[in-house]
Amino acid sequence: MTQIRSVVLGCGSYLPEQVVTNAQLAARIDTSDEWIVQRTGIRERHIAAEGEFTSHLAIKAAQAALADAGMDAQSIELIVLATSTPDNTFPATAVAVQHALGINHGAAFDLQAVCSGFVFALATADNFLRTGAYKRALVIGAETFSRILDWNDRGTCVLFGDGAGAVVLEAQEQPGKAATDRGVVTTHLRSDGRHKAKLFVDGGPSSTQTVGHLRMEGREVFKHAVGMITDVIVDAFQATGLNADSIDWFVPHQANKRIIDASAHKLHIAPEKVVLTVDRHGNTSAASIPLALSVARKDGRIKRGDMVLLEAMGGGFTWGSALVRW
């Protein structure tokens, strides 16, 4: 039986111009390039300029994705924007993107699952497209995490950066075979609120009437990350009959190189199949996966027909996986 799949037609990204190196951070706080690289693999990150908002990053990433797809913005019926750093408490940053693209039909909304946001947004759009509710969608991950960092906390401020990435999806009829169909083959999402205190922002409109700052128990997050990540990837393999050998590219959330390496090792995914951008981008939360996808597309690694494995874990905790044949 044939099946409707959400096929990726285009991918794009945007990074703010300002680059902050580890050496620059070491001049401001008690840290060093060696300390940061050894523990995280991060060497630099991009920081949004004054007056440059999450919506601005998202708009440019969306335009790049549309250009890559060779599509006019008017063909987009759904925009799902994953972010934890919206321009405003409301309305959704997605409607600012919608307006900037000249779209006044369909639906646009934000989705909040922190670093897992892009996987959650991809799964959400995929479900809308597979039911026939919409034909084409923009899925965006965009963040300005620099705005919620405590720049005196060396345990967190060295980790994060700003950026945006996007993909264009189209509902297409496929033969119905997980091993060969193009598009989103399967997604698996999880959350567990018991772990909130390990990674959260200590502010919000209802609780403190402030934005707040990011707080993290780094060792606790690391301890849970590898197990949770591999859990949802095993679920994806079981649901499709695929395995590590079936994967052409592993594009994980770019949080920490040690977590990425440990996850790939546990899953028996060869190092040469892992797409790494954390050294150049830092942790860009919901933007990290589409940014990494865009890099690997532009340099020719990810090609049509490749099976791509995505995974992420974020505050909440939330975590999820997706298998996508390009």
* Residues annotated as part of the active site: 115, 253, 283
- Alpha-carbon distance 212 to 202, whole Å? 5
CA 51, chain centre distance (Å): 23
- Alpha-carbon distance 315 to 218, whole Å? 12
In angstroms, the Cα distances linking 25 to 41, 133, 155, 178, 323 are 15, 47, 12, 46, 37
SS3 sequence, the chain? CCEEEEEEEEEEEECCCEEEEHHHHHCCCCCCHHHHHHHHCCCEEEECCCCCCHHHHHHHHHHHHHHHHCCCHHHCCEEEEECCCCCCCCCCHHHHHHHHCCCCCCEEEEECCHHHHHHHHHHHHHHHHHCCCCCEEEEEEEEEHHHHCCCCCHHHHCCECEEEEEEEEEEEEECCCCCCCCEEEEEEEEECHHHHHHEEECCCCCCCCCCCCEEECHHHHHHHHHHHHHHHHHHHHHHHCCCHHHCCEEEECCCCHHHHHHHHHHHCCCHHHECCCHHHHCECHHHHHHHHHHHHHHCCCCCCCCEEEEEEEECCCEEEEEEEEC
